[in-house]
Amino acid sequence: MTSDIRGFHHTGILTRDLDGLERTFTSFGFTLSPRSRHLLNERPGQPPVLGCTANRCALFGGAYIELLGIVDESAPDPWNTKAMADQYEGFRILNLDTDDAEATDRRLTAAGLRTSGVLDLEREVDTEDGPRTMRARAAHLDPRSTPGGYVGLAQHLTRQYVHQPRYLRHPNTARALDAVLLVADDAEFDAIVDRYARILNAAPRRQGLMTVLDLADGRLEFVRSSDAEEALPGEPAPAASYLAAMTVLVDDVTAARTIVEDGGTGVRTTGDGFFVSARDAYGAGLFFTAR
């Protein structure tokens, strides 16, 4: 199948303790972009307003990991982030990459999926040529249709201001976001996989315990909740269905492991790398692999 969604735009870890999340990911050897506040609109066509959130990002040139913090409880919350955090904090957000947010939104709507419509996002970023405004367009899927995560599609309008070369070099040698793993409630598993297959316009395949949807760049993996303990031994289960982990490709697994362990975090060896527990990474399990 061909798809207008190529891969991941970004994943998002949500917290009310952005300072702590920043320190943790820095200790894992990620280079982070400077902190930046969000300008958001609630409905298509409305002017963006300064919201309650800010972020720092681990950027890889394609996708990125967003460290998203609620930094001003009194500020407007047009994208309902505080309600999301009130449910639970952690790995909550998955945005898929498109070159045409309007066209992808129309396709999803025609497929029977409810969306927010295409919204505008801005934030001021520092560049080597001075401050610039990063702009993007995004549409959010109705979270009732995507159990386990707040899923959207996003289109860069100023990619060069986000993926700046000076932020793409990481001491842990990270180079790409390769996969996202979602644990799905057994009773809803088939329906959840089918819905994501329609979103991605991809055909599912089996791989051991997992059902996989392949993208041109990356893959989305699903594990039944009854198999979660085997796939992710000892990991927390914050909901019946939830975004559980992401896979980061690195050039040097040994160097990455040394940095993480020297920073005070224990790891578990895997077949092709190592794993950092969600308990130690603000609710997001992290597989580091060199494949």
Is residue 148 within 8 Å of 196, Cβ to Cβ? no
Burial zone of 82 (CB within 10 Å; 0-12 exposed, 13-18 middle, 19+ buried): middle
- pLDDT score for 1: 44
Do residues 230 and 158 share a domain?
no
Do residues 11 and 95 share a domain?
yes
- pLDDT score for 2: 53
Do residues 262 and 120 share a domain?
no
Do residues 259 and 163 share a domain?
no
The least confident of 142-151, 169-178, 274-283 is: 142-151
Do residues 207 and 244 share a domain?
yes
Per-residue pLDDT band for 49 (boundaries 50, 70, 90) equals confident
pLDDT digits (tens, 9 = 90+) for 198-232: 999 999 999 999 999 999 999 999 999 999 999 99
Do residues 34 and 77 share a domain?
yes
Domain extent at residue 272: 174-289
Among the candidates 140, 167, 194, a domain finishes at 167
Among the candidates 121, 141, 167, a domain finishes at 167
- pLDDT score for 122: 86
- The token pair at 258 is 């040394």
Do residues 54 and 119 share a domain?
yes
Domains in the chain, number: 2
Do residues 163 and 188 share a domain?
no
Q: Which of 123, 135, 122, 63 is nearest to 97 (CA)?
A: 63
Do residues 255 and 133 share a domain?
no
- pLDDT score for 39: 80
Do residues 160 and 178 share a domain?
no
Rounded mean pLDDT, 37-42: 80
Indicate if the pLDDT at residue 45 is higher than 80: no
CATH number at residue 223: 3.10.180.10
Indicate if the pLDDT at residue 26 is higher than 90: yes
Rounded mean pLDDT, 242-271: 98
Please state, for a pLDDT cut of 90, what percent of the chain lies above it.
84
Rounded mean pLDDT, 95-116: 94
Predicted TM-score of the model (pTM)? 0.93
Rounded mean pLDDT, 84-91: 95
Do residues 197 and 253 share a domain?
yes
Burial 95-134 (b: 16+ CB within 10 A, else e): bbbbeebeebbebbeeeebebbebbbbbbebeeeeeeeeb
Among the candidates 121, 143, 167, a domain finishes at 167
Do residues 281 and 191 share a domain?
yes
